[in-house]
Amino acid sequence: MPGAFTWRDEVFGVQGTLRTWKESSREGGAGGELYLRRHCYELLMSDGSIWSVYFTRQAPSGKPTKSRWFLYSILSDAPPAK
């Protein structure tokens, strides 16, 4: 797990992991072997927002290893500054 992510040219530190889960699918259709596709995380970020990110087991062809991490959604924005 990276200690921080860069999104829209801004660095966001990971403060903690709130939840983890895995997503699998069958290789070659319904009768194929079960293959683990993604590791998913719900993270508390340094600005107080909550992000849902996932990590793919294999990088897309020709892409660097860090291309395996994806922001799925921002579940809640950072609380307003006081």
Task: Give the whole-angstrom CA distance, residue 66 versus residue 82.
Answer: 35
Mean pLDDT of 11-21: 95
Listing DSSP states for 7-59 in one string gives ETTEEEEEEEEEEEEEEEEETTSTTSPEEEEEEEEEEEETTS-EEEEEEESSP
Say yes or no to pLDDT of 13 above 90: yes
pTM to 2 decimal places: 0.74
Per-residue pLDDT tens over the stretch 25-67: 767 666 677 666 788 999 999 999 999 999 887 666 666 666 7
Query: For position 82, what pLDDT does the model report?
Result: 60
Burial of 53 (0-12, 13-18, 19+ CB in 10 A): buried
Task: Give the whole-angstrom CA distance, residue 66 versus residue 55.
Answer: 9
CA 53 to chain centre: 2
Query: For position 35, what pLDDT does the model report?
Result: 66
Query: For position 77, what pLDDT does the model report?
Result: 80
